[in-house]
Amino acid sequence: MFSKDFMLSAIIYLLAGVIFGIGLSISGMNDTSIVKGFLDITGEWNYSLAFVMATAIVITTVGYRYLFSKDKPLLASEFNLPKRSEIDKPLVIGSIIFGIGWGLYGFCPGPALASLASLSPYSLAFVISMAAGMFMSKFLKI
Amino acid sequence: MLNAAFGGLLIGSSALMLMFFYGRIAGISDLFYSGLNTMNARKHGTESIIFIFGLMLGSSLYYFIANETFPLPEASFPLAIIAGFLVGFGTRIGRGCTSGHGVCGISRLSLRSLTATIIFIIVGMLTVGIVKHVL
């Protein structure tokens, strides 16, 4: 029914998702109060998010350096990397809008999606609205 | 802080997996959007949904094993809906979120991603500050 290629990629994506999900939960990033605690520099600053990001960046930077020295990824014909390099208006405006939403509720996309598993109706509302926002962005030219 | 470091290590490892096998940036907003467009076979739409399912599974697994309850977000539909919309809209316009820009982008030394990350962190801090002290 499914091709061998699909089964393999499904397993790899599932595993990558599970590892990412454990990473989010173990580091406290699924907890909106911890994330807001990081963004609240006027209170008792919770810097764990900075620590999570810093560790992830170190691992990924070293790993990418090694991977990019190869011609291509193992199961695809080429590395699919963003080609834009200029800092344009959509980048700045989009990041501002994302920052407002993130600060308001304490969810960025990863934790919001992971927390669907908590069966919280508020997580579900957030994710449905996030999907709507993504589709809406197609119709608005910035 | 040990948990934060270990969590970061896992998130970084997951990002490396997708790059190693498929040459793909592990940006959650991009994976989710690809998943919403499952017809898009080139961007692994179905696999992206499977990744998102893995996120839920991995997080649940941790709370189950650690015998902790899943942390719940603030119980406000208006706030969840407004914030969710802004996060979805903003990450599409800005082409990335905390993982795609903040982790993967900075790791490939992209000035665009560094700029985006600085902006959304500062704006996030301002938002929390304004909500707490002004509103």
Asked if A21's CB is within 8 angstroms of B58's CB, the reply is: yes
Is residue A124 exposed (0-12), middle (13-18) or buried (19+ Cβ within 10 Å)? middle
Report the distance separating Cα B64 and Cα A94, nearest Å. 36
Helix (H) or strand (E) holding B52: helix B45-65
Residue B24 β-bridge partners? A80
Encode pLDDT of B15-39 as tens digits: 999 999 999 999 999 999 999 988 7
Give percent of chain B above pLDDT 70.
98
Q: Model pTM?
A: 0.96
Phi and psi angles of residue A80, each rounded to the nearest 5 degrees, phi first: -100, 85
Instruction: Find all residues with CB under 8 Å of A131, minimum gap 6, and list them.
Output: B32, B36, B88
Q: What is the mean pLDDT of chain B?
A: 95
Q: Do A41 and B125 touch (CB under 8 A)?
A: yes
Whether B14 has its CB under 8 Å from any CB of chain A: the answer is: yes
**Residue A48 to residue B1, Cβ atoms within 8 A:** yes
This complex has an ipTM of: 0.96
CB-side neighbour CA atoms (13 Å) of B43 = 18
**Between residues 32 and 71 of chain A, which touch chain B (CB distance below 8 Å)?**
32-34, 36, 39-43, 48-49, 51-61, 63-64, 67-68
- Virtual torsion, Cα A113, A7, B11, B4, nearest 10 deg: 80
Tell me the H-state helices in B23-110. Answer: 28-36, 45-65, 77-93, 106-107
Query: CB-based contact (8 Å) between B24 and chain A?
Result: yes
Residues B105, B15 contacting (CB under 8 angstroms): no
Contacts with B107 from chain A: Cβ below 8 Å:
57, 60-61, 63-64
A69-121: per-residue pLDDT in tens? 999 999 999 999 999 989 999 999 999 999 999 999 999 999 999 999 999 99
User: Using an 8 Å Cβ cutoff, are B98 and A110 in contact?
Assistant: yes
